[in-house]
């Protein structure tokens, strides 16, 4: 991209069986880690809704590789959008 932009990670529901853990890398360098902990450590398995929101990731101008991984015990509902890409 020819200008800086923001990748918005749209966090939804999280597994109530162990939670999740997001790691974001920009060009191979880890720039964000966000844990979505399961408060009762797998005792109850109800879906966790309290983590819903937006995680912003700033991306400088130029060509980049962005990786988003969930290294936690279970799933997280995740969407994304780019903000500031249109001139």
What are the tens digits of pLDDT across the range 26-84? 999 999 999 999 998 778 899 999 999 999 999 999 999 999 999 999 999 999 999 98
Q: What is the pTM assigned to this prediction?
A: 0.89
Say if 85 falls within a structural domain.
no
Q: What is the pLDDT of residue 1?
A: 80
In a domain, 81, yes or no: no
pLDDT of residue 68: 98
Inside any domain, residue 84: no
Which residue in 63, 52, 54 sits closest to 81, CA to CA? 54
Position 35 scores a pLDDT of 98
Residue 46: DSSP 8-state: P
Q: Kindly report the CA angle at 53 between 34 and 20, in degrees rounded to 5? A: 35
Residue 83 lies in a domain: no
The domain tally of the chain equals 1
Residue 30: domain span: 5-74
47 and 75 Cβ atoms separated by less than 8 Å = no
């Amino acid at each position: 991209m020819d200008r800086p932009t923001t990748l918005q990670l749209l966090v939804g529901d999280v597994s109530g069986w162990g939670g999740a853990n997001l790691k974001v890398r920009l060009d191979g360098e880890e720039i964000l880690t966000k844990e979505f902990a399961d408060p009762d450590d797998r005792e109850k398995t109800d879906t966790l809704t309290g983590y819903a929101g937006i995680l912003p990731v700033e991306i400088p101008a130029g060509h980049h590789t962005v990786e988003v991984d969930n290294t936690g015990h279970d799933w997280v509902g995740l969407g994304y959008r780019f903000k500031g890409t249109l001139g």
